[in-house]
């Protein structure tokens, strides 16, 4: 009797394994590298869509990175042909409701096959009652488009813009 039960268990297990549908493997999530100055720390609460957020409360500097995988964009029929096209799409809505803002002409460059665009934005924030400086960056890699936003008070622009640029140009996947 034990032999029959053992035989049935083996037969049923073998049938179940061989009857399964062929599976395809997918990787979930996206990994990228970024360098942030040691006086800044990872944080949360700046933007719910961000992959990473950083700040220095003491220096009043903030920033975050949002990415869109090209594969995911295609699934929703958003096909960007260049970093410039992605940048233009983002900037048309950035600070749309802000009355007092100045946006510099975007600067484009390619480093090690990665396309970068950066622009300076000065805007008056009514809620904070102060001028804010933003370094806006868009990065295009083979896999994704990234939006990197770093900001401080406008009076600290010259002091921290170089570090904001180092953050932007450190992105790679």
Ordered by where they begin, the domains of the chain are 25-169 (3.40.1000.10)
Q: How confident is the model at residue 98 (pLDDT cuts 50, 70, 90)?
A: confident
Q: How confident is the model at residue 139 (pLDDT cuts 50, 70, 90)?
A: very high
* Tokens at 124, concatenated: 């008056």
pTM for the structure as a whole: 0.83
Report pLDDT for 25: 79
* The total number of residues written for the chain in this structure: 173
Q: Report long-range pairs for 77-84 (Cβ below 8 Å, ≥24 apart).
A: 80/145, 82/115, 82/140, 83/108, 83/115, 83/116, 83/117, 83/138, 83/139, 83/140, 83/145, 84/108, 84/117
Mean pLDDT of the chain: 90
Q: Is 90 exceeded by the pLDDT of residue 18? A: no
Report pLDDT for 122: 97
Q: How confident is the model at residue 7 (pLDDT cuts 50, 70, 90)?
A: low
The distance between the two most distant Cα atoms of the chain, rounded to a whole number of Å, is 87
- The phi, psi pair for 163, rounded to 5°, reads -70, -40
Q: Which residue has the higher pLDDT, 97 or 80?
A: 80
The residue with tokens 């510099």 is 104
């Amino acid at each position: 009797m034990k032999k029959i039960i053992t035989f049935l268990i083996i037969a049923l297990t073998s049938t179940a394994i061989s009857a399964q549908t062929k599976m395809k493997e997918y990787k979930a999530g996206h990994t990228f590298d970024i360098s942030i100055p040691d006086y800044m720390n990872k944080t949360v609460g700046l933007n719910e869509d961000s992959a990473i957020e950083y700040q220095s409360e003491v220096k009043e500097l903030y920033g975050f990175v949002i990415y869109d995988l090209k594969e995911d964009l295609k699934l929703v029929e958003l096909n960007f042909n260049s970093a410039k096209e992605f940048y233009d799409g983002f900037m048309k809505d950035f600070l749309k409701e802000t009355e007092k803002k100045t946006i510099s002409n975007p600067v484009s460059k390619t480093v090690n096959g990665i396309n970068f665009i950066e622009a300076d934005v000065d805007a008056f924030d009514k809620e904070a009652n102060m001028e804010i400086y933003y370094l806006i960056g868009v990065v295009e890699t083979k896999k994704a488009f990234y939006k990197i936003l770093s900001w401080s008070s406008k009076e600290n622009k010259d002091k921290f813009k170089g570090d904001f640029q180092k953050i932007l140009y450190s992105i790679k996947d």
